Amino acid sequence: MSTIDTAPPDSTALQIPLARNASIDGMDAYRALVTEANQDYEAFWARLAREHLAWHRPFTKVLNDTDAPFYHWFEDGELNASYNCLDRNLINGLAEKTAIVFESDDGKLTHVTYQALYHRVCRLANALRARGVKKGDRVVIYMPMSVEGVVAMLACARIGAPHSVVFGGFSAKSLHERIVDIGACAVITADEQVRAGKTLPLKTIVDEALAMGGAAGIKTVAIYRRTGGQIPWINERDKWLHELEAAQPDTCEPEWVGAEHPLFVLYTSGSTGTPKGVQHSTGGYLLWAAATMKWTFDIKPEDVFWCTADIGWITGHTYICYGPTAVGATQVIFEGVPTYPNAGRFWEMIQRHKVSIFYTAPTAIRSLIKSADANHAVHPDSFDLSSLRLLGTVGEPINPSAWTWYARHVGGGRCPVLDTFWQTETGGHMISPLPGVTPLVPGSCTLPMPGIDAAIVDETGEEVPNGNGGVLVIRKPWPSMIRTIWGNPERFRQGYFPGELGGKLYLAGDGAIRDRDTGYFTITGRIDDVLNVSGHRLGTMEIESALAAHPLVAEAAVVGRPDETAGEAIVAFVVLKAERPSGADAKRVADELRAWVGKEIGPIAKPKDIRFGDAMPKTRSGKVVRRLLRSVAKGEVISQDTSTVENPAVISQFADAA
């Protein structure tokens, strides 16, 4: 790969200053931390763990790497995540500080102090215990964005019950797969959720999922009454959340757990079709959530922090539930969408709540650019955004033009833009600008966090020179890393520490390149069959399997293509059991298949483009030639060698179907 220029022509005109008095203040301070980690890796992490976390029983062992890649950190120490996020703030005099400012879809506001949040968490923790949930039992959370969702996560942590949050946009089938795989004993959900003025069912989807079988372990379905809408009810199993909590005391002794005790399992799409349960520990994960809140976001006592993610994704775990509360921050939580009731909602909320740190996805930024260009009333220039001091992006690389617009019109040219690279599996930021340290380059996530040994290697695991592209790896374990894939340690080993790279390098699954002069990292895209749609990872095999399950479909292949708004769009190539449709018939069948995928997986997995052919382009050995389908999806002229394709004529069919 050749070198790339990540900066647009006018980016230097912004002259964005570094933050003053930041947690890491200046490049010399950054280099000192990097040197400390290099000189004594274990001592570096031990110091951070003692500084950022409260331990019930102090650890004496830092890293156990005797069974690599199944690394253990601080394993003889004991702590509780809920205690660290709540009790410690009360002890430190923050009881009356606002923990959460919740804004509902219709604009109603709820303010929750740390004292009130503590009592709500304790009541639910006691209620779960009263229903028989104990340390080590798994609880699935299928909730709307709400204070109750955060309370549910922290309540599970308080009693040592690992939680698995499932995004509220996933289908009954997707929910069922996760409930069964993790062996859950309880589900916490809501009657309905509200998005853009519309109510969407949740409890009904839970019932549908449980009716699919294999979930006999579910003894409790606790329901948050969000709308009061009509829902099915099963006596004994179904309980209103407020009624469960009402009978409970508002204090609850935390369950002290070992640092390696699973805090949560979060399912993410993989290239094999079946979702994989990423398991995170308590101690290592919480350490990095707290440290990155301080380093990346430079969190101060007076800040108002707003991460626009959903708790169903890792960003919502780390930078809504655990990170902000671990450092005693005030944060905004939003139920709705950025375009309702109009596309100025984000800017109006920043103005209203005096948000100082704003963290959102490039997809949202790109969609709001279009709206702002079309209507000045919803342009960020029409709002008072002077409270902002830091901006961040997450979920996918941000293209330089969107970066520049974001920096200029939202940040006023004065706010550092933190283009954060990390994954579900890493638990927190891995490569990111630091506001008091890093000169910015649009499109680049710049330099690794202190303690993170990132490199770019070739197919054999050898590091490539700066300026050459390759595969992003992490060469040393770090505390917040994935511990295993739930119930499938071999899949973990093969997927993240592949033998072809020597078995000791963590494979991020992304391509990257480093600048020849600065050493800055730029992420160039996924190297596996996982699509990144609006910051959400979706496995191609998962979507293909859903399509193939439709009675009309004989075969399906799914690829991604660049999309101006979503970053990557899903393109499906389909062979039907009947004749290839055309015209209105093709549109009708495509609409039916989109709806089917939405039901099987969720609306985010619906293909944007569905094309029909008489057959798939395959090699003589029967392998689908996906490189050709990717070119077709992008609208490229096929100049590649097609001599190995048994039926090259079908390529034209798919191309003509665009």
- Rounded to two decimals, what is the model's pTM? 0.87
Is 424 annotated in a binding site? The answer is yes
193 known member of a binding site: no
CA distance 464 to 462: 6
CA distance 270 to 486: 13
Q: Of the given ranges (77-91, 213-227, 559-573), which has the lowest mean pLDDT?
A: 559-573
Please say whether the beta carbons of 415 and 407 come within 8 A: yes
Average pLDDT, the chain: 92
Residue 227 annotated as lining a ligand binding site? no
Q: Is 421 annotated as a binding residue?
A: yes
Q: Is 550 annotated as a binding residue?
A: yes
The answer on whether 422 is annotated among ligand-binding residues is: yes
pLDDT of 653 above 60: yes
Q: What is the pLDDT of residue 446?
A: 97
613 among the known binding-site residues?
Answer: no
**8 Å CB contact between 185 and 346:** no
State the pLDDT confidence band at 641, using cuts at 50, 70 and 90. low
Distances (CA, A) of 540 to 169, 361, 530, 635: 18, 22, 6, 19
- Whether residue 50 is annotated as binding a ligand: the answer is no
pLDDT at residue 272 is higher than 70: no
Pairing of strands 417-419, 390-393: parallel
pLDDT at residue 168 above 70? yes
Assigned token pair, 259? 């640092």
CATH code linked to domain 534-654 = 3.30.300.30
Q: Is 396 annotated as a binding residue?
A: yes
- The answer on whether 306 is annotated among ligand-binding residues is no
Least confident of 71-85, 388-402, 516-530: 516-530
- N- to C-terminal Cα distance for the chain? 30
pLDDT of residue 334: 98
**Beta-strand pair 567-576/609-612:** parallel
Confidence band, pLDDT 50/70/90 cuts, at residue 4: very low
Q: Which residues contact 608 (CB under 8 A, 6 or more apart)?
A: 563, 566, 569, 570, 571
Instruction: Give me the percent of the chain exceeding a pLDDT of 90.
Output: 78
In this prediction, residue 358 has a pLDDT band, given cuts at 50, 70 and 90, of very high
* Spatial separation of the C-alpha atoms in residues 173 and 605, rounded to whole Å: 13
The answer to the question of whether 420 is labelled as a binding residue is yes
- pLDDT given at position 528: 74
Which segment of 26-35, 47-56, 164-173 scores lowest on mean pLDDT?
164-173
What is d(CA 109, CA 298) in angstroms, rounded to the nearest whole number?
26
Q: What is the pLDDT of residue 251?
A: 98
**Is there a binding annotation on residue 491?**
no
CA dist., res. 285 & res. 394, Å (int): 18
The pLDDT value recorded for residue 284 is 98
Residue 145's pLDDT is 97
Asked whether residue 88 is marked as a ligand-binding residue, the answer is no
pLDDT value at residue 12: 44
Question: Is 463 a known ligand-binding residue?
Answer: no
Q: Does the annotation list 6 as a binding residue? A: no
Structure confidence at residue 624 (pLDDT):
78
- pLDDT at res. 6: 33
Across 7-16, 294-303, 348-357, 553-562, least confident range = 7-16
Judge contact between 444 and 420, C-beta under 8 A: no
| pLDDT of 645 above 70 | yes
Mean pLDDT of 232-240: 96
CB distance 425 to 496 below 8 Å: yes
Q: Tell me what the mean pLDDT of segment 594-608 comes to.
A: 93
Range scoring the smallest mean pLDDT among 1-10, 231-240, 420-429, 521-530: 1-10
**430-440 CB burial, b ≥16 within 10 A, e <16:** bbbbbbbbbeb
Quick one: tokens of 623? 């392998």
Residue 557, beta-bridge partner list: 573
Q: Was 555 annotated as part of a binding site? A: no
**Residue 451 CB contacts under 8 Å (≥ 6 apart), including other chains:** 33, 34, 37, 41, 44, 45, 48, 478
At 500 the pLDDT is 86
Note the pLDDT of residue 618: 79
Q: For residue 133, is pLDDT > 70? A: yes
d(CA 617, CA 500): 29
Asked whether the predicted pLDDT for residue 3 surpasses 80, the reply is no
- pLDDT score of 642: 66
Q: What's residue 644's pLDDT?
A: 57
Strands, DSSP E only, in 390-518?
A: 390-393, 417-419, 454-457, 470-474, 484-485, 506-514
| C-alpha to C-alpha distance for 340 and 355, rounded to whole angstroms | 19
Where in the chain are the domains?
A: 27-336+421-454+494-506, 534-654
- CATH number for 27-336+421-454+494-506: choose from 3.40.50.970, 1.20.1440.230, 3.40.50.12780, 3.30.300.30: 3.40.50.12780
How confident is residue 309, by pLDDT bands cut at 50, 70 and 90?
very high
> Residue 273: what pLDDT?
61
In degrees, rounded to 5, the angle at the alpha carbon of residue 446 between the alpha carbons of residues 445 and 448 is 95
Mean of pLDDT values over 85-102: 98
Lookup result for tokens 């994704």: 313
Residue 11 has pLDDT above 60, yes or no: no
**Tens digits of residue pLDDT in 530-577:** 788 887 878 787 788 889 889 999 888 899 998 888 888 999 999 998
Domains 27-336+421-454+494-506 and 534-654 share a fold: no
Whole-number percent of the chain with pLDDT over 70: 95
- How far is Cα of residue 563 from the mean position of the Cα atoms in its chain? 19
Reported confidence tier of residue 9, pLDDT bands at 50, 70, 90: very low
Q: What angle do CA 270, 311, 485 make, to 5 degrees?
A: 30
Which residues, other chains included, contact 404 with Cβ-Cβ below 8 Å and sequence gap of 6+? 8, 10, 11, 14, 442
The pLDDT value recorded for residue 626 is 79
pLDDT at 2: 25
